[in-house]
Structure formats: structure tokens, C-alpha cells
Amino acid sequence: MTAQPDKTVGIRRKPKRPTAPRQRNPERTRHAILDAARSEFCQYGFSGARVERISRKSKTNNRMIYHYFGNKEGVYLAVLESVYGEIRKREQRLDLANAEPIEGMRKLILFTFDFFASRSDFLALISNENILKAKFLKRLPSIQAMTVPLVEVIRDLLERGQRQGNFAPGSIRSSSTCRLSPRASCTSRAGTRSRSCSTRT
């Protein structure tokens, strides 16, 4: 019986290309951690939240969380700043400065209630800060800076509305106090019926 020649002899195999190292996207990683942390703080509050769960939900690790945010407090502060920044940016789109007083206040009130109705995570964070007596909000002057322009616009709407006879005297002071309060107790009452947590963006 004649042996069959080995057809593979003399054939050069192409060497496998080395796998390129996976590129890390710092911004994407940071956002993933913030999204997971928002859900964690919403569900468990600051005291009950665990960095291990945040790293697991964000598919990262504790070392990366500490690298980006320093510690659990750093993550929590970043979450607060992100959420408050979101509502302030949306409020700016209402263009209240160019609205008539009654229409401007109506737009702001409807927006606020709609936002709270769709963002129970925001309510949960506010409630947690109320319990902590604004311990962390007081450490974020950026949030106060975001709020001041809105307060000025509201003040202008109320002043114009008072001159037109549409708003009662004294409404300027109460509105400014409510919006500038670091505990945000006035706005938190708007949606106390909502208890579930979500991370809609």
C-alpha cells in the first residue's frame, strides 16, 4: 500500500496577529461608575451604599472607582453634582427670562412636577440629603452657583407679575428662600408620593 504524501509539508502558516490591547475610555468608564452609583445611592442611601456593589454594577473594580473619585464620598458628591446639573440645564431651556410672568411660572411649575414624576432617583437623593441635613450639598458650591441664575429669573418674573397685579406681595422672598435652600426641602415635597428608584437619562 503506497503512503499518501503529506500535503501540509512545505506550506507556510501565516503567523497569528497579536491581539491589540483593549483601549480604555476614561470618560465612558467614569459615566458607567456614576450611573451605577446613582442607582446604588438611590436604593440604599449614602450610609447603606457599598463601593463593591457600584464596581460590580458598573463592570469596573474598586481600584478604578478610587482612582476617579477618591472614595465613596467623592462618588456621592459627583452623583449629586451630576443630577442637580441636569435639572438646572433643563430649566435653562425653558427661556423663562423672555416669558410673561404667569406663563413663565406656569412653565417652571409644570416642568418641575414632570421632572420629579419621571426622575424618582432625583427625589431619593434629595430625601437622603434632607435626612443628612445637606451635609454633602454644603460642600458643593457649584450647585449653589447653578441655582443663583434661576433664582434671579424667578425674582424678575415675580417682580413683573406684582407690578401687573398678578402675584401677591411677599412671593419673591418665599420663592427665593425655597430655591436657595441647600436642603431643597421645598422642591422635595413635590413628589413625596414616588418611592421607586430609577436611573433614566
Q: Would the pLDDT of 9 be above 50?
A: yes
Report pLDDT digits (tens) over 117-167: 888 888 889 888 888 888 998 999 888 888 899 999 999 999 999 998 888
- The dihedral region occupied by 95, where left means phi > 0, alpha psi between -120 and 50, and beta the remainder, is left
Over the Cα atoms of the chain, what is R_g?
Answer: 26
Helix residue ranges per DSSP H, the chain: 26-48, 51-57, 62-69, 72-92, 101-118, 120-131, 141-163, 171-180, 185-188
Angle at 76 between CA 75 and CA 81, to 5 degrees: 100
In the chain the domains, ranked by start, together with CATH numbers, are 26-191 (1.10.357.10)
Report pLDDT digits (tens) over 161-188: 999 888 887 766 555 444 444 444 334 3
Query: CA–CA separation, 61 vs 79, rounded Å?
Result: 18
pTM, full prediction:
0.70
Q: Would the pLDDT of 84 be above 50?
A: yes
Report pLDDT digits (tens) over 85-98: 999 999 999 999 99
Query: CA–CA separation, 62 vs 34, rounded Å?
Result: 13
Angle at 17 between CA 15 and CA 21, to 5 degrees: 155
Angle at 131 between CA 146 and CA 118, to 5 degrees: 60
Q: Is the dihedral of CA 50, 51, 53, 54 positive or negative?
A: positive
Residues in the chain: 201
Whole-number average pLDDT of the chain: 80
Cβ atoms of residues 185 and 130 within 8 Å: yes
Query: CA–CA separation, 123 vs 108, rounded Å?
Result: 17
Query: CA–CA separation, 125 vs 134, rounded Å?
Result: 11
CA distances from 91 to 110, 118, 174, 197 (A): 11, 15, 19, 22
C-alpha distance across the termini of the chain, in Å? 74
